[in-house]
């Protein structure tokens, strides 16, 4: 019987880069944090390990709706506006208990909220710092007293139209929203300098000279 010729399997080289080799997109604010903010915080607080340096873990946006229980159009408008602002679909928040003074019953819609992390978080903060806050009427900076004692910062915006994603002609009414920036900082001082170095327009703290007690 004639012998069969052995055929060697030749592997063709892959022209497409693997998933691990693909260049990953990094937001501008994250690059600023890695290149500039990390060394500044390390020098200021004398951290021994880079893992001790605080960072932003999430950003929450909460928008209240006064007449959402009776007007579905206002609820839909708020959901649409918060989606445009955050780039992520929000969820509807409901009342946890009955409030007779506001004629609200448990389970009725009272607002909407969204929590941002990773890339969308950095992109939102970049737009907030660079574009939205400078458009605020009579803006003089954010208060440095709005920290909660655990390294998180909370502040409110009176008009949603400061965001360029919102078309003034399409809105139902002027409404505000609350923004909470959650960090891994253990103290308010660390969180202050983290956000300050990232470019958040916080007001300068007054330096108080402590007088030495004379015994």
H-helix or E-strand containing 44? helix 38-45
Per-residue confidence (pLDDT) for residue 25, from 0 to 100: 83
Distance set, CA 164 to CA 29, 58, 133 (Å): 19, 22, 11
Share of the chain above pLDDT 90, in %: 48
What DSSP designation does 136 have? S
Cα–Cα dist 45/172, whole Å: 47
**Which residues of the chain are modeled with pLDDT < 70?**
1-23, 66-71, 100-103, 207-215
- Sheet with 109-116, side-by-side order of all strands: 91-94, 109-116, 56-64, 177-183, 153-157
- What is the value of pTM for the model shown? 0.80
CATH of range 43-198; options 3.30.1440.10, 3.60.15.10, 3.40.50.880, 1.10.10.10: 3.30.1440.10
Cα–Cα dist 129/144, whole Å: 16
């Amino acid at each position: 019987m004639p012998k069969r010729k052995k055929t060697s399997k030749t592997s063709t080289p892959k022209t497409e880069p693997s998933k691990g080799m693909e260049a990953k997109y990094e937001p501008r604010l994250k690059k600023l944090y890695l290149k500039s903010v990390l060394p500044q915080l390390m020098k200021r607080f004398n951290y021994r390990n880079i893992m001790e340096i605080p960072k932003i873990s999430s950003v929450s946006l909460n928008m209240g709706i006064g007449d959402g229980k009776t007007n579905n159009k206002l609820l839909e408008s708020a959901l649409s506006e918060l989606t445009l602002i955050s780039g992520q679909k929000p969820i509807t928040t409901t009342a946890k208990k009955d409030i007779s003074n506001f004629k609200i019953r448990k389970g009725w819609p009272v607002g909407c909220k969204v929590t941002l992390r990773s890339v969308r978080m950095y992109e939102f903060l970049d737009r907030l710092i660079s574009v939205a806050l400078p458009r605020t009427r009579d803006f003089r900076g954010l208060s440095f007293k709005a920290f909660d004692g655990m390294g998180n910062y909370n502040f409110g915006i009176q008009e949603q139209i400061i965001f360029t994603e919102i078309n003034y002609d399409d809105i139902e009414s002027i409404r505000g929203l609350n923004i909470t920036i959650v960090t891994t900082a253990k103290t308010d001082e660390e969180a202050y300098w983290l956000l300050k170095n990232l470019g958040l327009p916080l007001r300068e703290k007054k330096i108080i000279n402590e007088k030495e007690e004379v015994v």
